[in-house]
Amino acid sequence: MTERLGSVFIENVQPELDAGRYAIKRVAGETLTVRADIFKEGHDVLVAVARWRQVTPAAQKTDWAEVPLTFKNNDAWEGSIPLANNGRYEYTIEAWPDLFRTWAHELKRKVDAGRDVKSELLEGAALLEGAAARAKGKSAEDHRVLAEAGARLRTPPSPDHLLAALSSELADAASRHPDRTLARRYDKVLEVFVDREKARNAAWYEFFPRSAKRDGKTHGTFKDAQAWLPYVQKLGFDTVYLPPIHPIGRTARKGKNNSLRAEPGDVGSPWAIGAAEGGHKAVHPELGTLADFRAFVDAAKAHGIEVALDLAFQCSPDHPYVKEHPEWFQHRPDGTIKTAENPPKRYEDIVNFDWMGPARDALWKELKSVVLYWVDNGVRTFRVDNPHTKPMQFWHWLIREVQDLHPDVLFLSEAFTRPKVMKALGKVGFTQSYTYFTWRLFKDEIRSYLEEITSPPVSDYFRGNLWPNTPDILPENLQNAGPGAFRLRVALAATLSSVWGMYSGYELCEGRPVPGKEEYLDSEKYQLVAWDWDRPGNISEWIAKLNAVRKAHPALQQYQGLRFFESDNERVLFYGKRSPDGLSTVLVAVSLDPYAPQEALLRVPMEWLGVTAEETYQVHELMADQRSLWQGPDVQVRLTPEQPAAIFAVYRYRRTEHAFDYFE
């Protein structure tokens, strides 16, 4: 952008991600608080605005609008942009000297010092006449007021003239019609992508439709999977995530427990996508038809559940792409196609694309069409498999291309990799991200990690979706563990973040590992599994109660604003959240001990709650449905493996003339 006239400096603009290279994230209905340091030489009075507009989707594109920035202190300014709709917005900052207010300020100082101000009054008249000219055709009233005031200043000065010239009403009228040829505009136009509510607040449940028969022998269908939906709804989940639903390759098909040789009847890994029956735009014949899938999506919607689909951009050697477009794949010097590897692991049943090869444009266009195909068939959420093994440039391009057409589409990044790579995936556009929560077990490491990812600047682009388990990961803390371990980990996941998920079997406390590995024995990735929803020792009711509490209390639906508080027991974590409107406040205490009771003295954050030490307030412990009156900062709690979490909704409590009232 060509530099505007004027000597105003605009620095330290926040939020700004990687010098404006990437968009920050917000949710529809939120506001974007913009901050900047703005200053100019001398003593000019400055005016600053945030300029913003919505640019996608095309049907909702708006003209530039402005909101004022307010001076805070030390040349810092701040203002808020309304983000009403799902889509992409642009914003920048512009500032200029308020010539008339600067003149009025200096005039008063000179008058107070007894100076002759005849010349200054003529300068003021010229300023008002210029403002009047700019007001013409925009505001007849402002034009009249400014012109008359300018004319008065050209007559012999009097105390009344001076008083009128210094009135705030006249300054306001002049400020409404500034000389913006002296303005400076920030040299970048920044972006914010505004997601729908589900990006910030969702509970995911993952299951394999092929196990829907639950006998471990009969391949399930989408019609069978519909029978799971009332169960998932009862547990309180609002997103069902399905692993790949496409035809599965036969070449090098994996057998049970990831064996290299498949026996007759082995179903293989659904991530080995593609066979004679089709590829990424086809449905595995044993699951049913495309019409059956769409019926499943509609049935889920009727239960208040959204379907998330796995997006795995890799192929079986049998995928139609391999024959139709061999130029899309990586080849060895001997001409054979390279299989996927992560030494010492080797995935003989999967081949990778040549992402940056000479056929890149055609390949990328085809993969974009895959996403749009499933969007057209009712999918609005994708869990993306191993995005960290594909170029960042591809994801930045793909996500933008899709969301510019369909801003309601969400992408979850499945990347348990290096921290900076995980964050980079958030920057290039992924809506949510898997996290290291799975391996954070102790008080200090949980606190430091969650503070990092739920606070700016990281939370401006990274939303952590907390999973205590996945089909790929059975962490050591859940291996052969009792229900206490499963309860406390799910309590943490469901309350530390506003988005969380779990893989089916968790509610049954399934924890049998492959010896020495963080993998499930008899993994559902390679075989059908018989699920008994009524297995003794299951924690289904506990999970259902957790999700019900989340839905009832907006504080737990907020991603940012997590605050940790003092507990005198290193095995008890204490934290809280509050909704932006202040009408929902929740405190949470969770035991980190799955085997024994733990007691702790909690130091209640009185100032954060807005209560005094003498004030009585009511708390409702939501998991046990018990109400108490608290007073003062110290509260004793006892947590057990059967009840490892206490979730307190906080209500201030006061005595009126005739009764007691509860209020937030």
Angle at 211 between CA 210 and CA 217, to 5 degrees: 100
Query: H/E element holding 490?
Result: helix 483-496
**Is 188 marked within a binding site?**
no
Residue 67 CA neighbour count, 13 Å, CB half: 17
3-state SS assignment for residue 209: helix
| Tokens linked to 410 | 């969400």
Distances from the Cα of 463 to the Cα of 32, 425, 429, angstroms: 16, 11, 11
Q: Which residue has the tokens 């388990």?
A: 469
**Is 368 marked within a binding site?**
no
**Concatenated DSSP letters for 135-185?**
HTTT-HHHHHHHHHHHHHHTSPP-HHHHHHHT-HHHHHHHHTS--GGG-EE
| 562 Cβ neighbours under 8 A, 6+ residues apart | 450, 451, 454, 455, 496, 575, 576, 577
**Is 37 marked within a binding site?**
no
Give the C-alpha separation, 574 to 252, whole Å. 50
Q: What is the 3-state secondary structure (H, E, C) of 615-663?
A: CEEEEEECCCCEEEEEECCEEEEEECCCCCEEEEEEEEEEECCCCEEEE
Identity of the residue numbered 117: V
Quick one: which of 491, 467, 493, 489 has its CA closest to 478? Answer: 489
Distances from the Cα of 663 to the Cα of 338, 628, 653, angstroms: 65, 15, 6
Quick one: which of 56, 295, 335, 390 has its CA closest to 195? Answer: 56
Give the C-alpha separation, 249 to 276, whole Å. 8
Cβ contact 71:120 at 8 Å: no
Q: What is the 3-state secondary structure (H, E, C) of 231-282?
A: HHHHHCCCEEEECCCCCECCCCCCCHHHCCCCCCCCCCCCCCECECCECCCC
76-82 and 306-311 strand pairing: unpaired
Quick one: which of 462, 605, 502 has its CA closest to 237? Answer: 502
**Does the N-terminal peptide bond of residue 15 adopt cis geometry, omega within 30 degrees of 0?**
yes
Give the C-alpha separation, 280 to 630, whole Å. 57
Sign of CA dihedral 445, 449, 450, 451: positive
- With b for 16 or more beta-carbon neighbours within 10 A and e for fewer, the 314-343 pattern comes to bbbbbbbbbeeeeebbeeeeeeeeebbeee
118-135 helix and 140-153 helix, angle to the nearest 10 degrees: 160
Selecting among 16, 206, 318, 385, the annotated active-site residue is: 385
| Tokens linked to 197 | 């509510």
Active site residue 385: yes
Selecting among 142, 318, 414, 507, the annotated active-site residue is: 414
**Is 349 marked within a binding site?**
yes
Annotated binding site: 254, 314, 349, 386, 525-526
Annotated binding site for alpha-maltose 1-phosphate: 254, 314, 349, 386, 525-526
Q: Which positions are annotated as active-site residues?
A: 385, 414
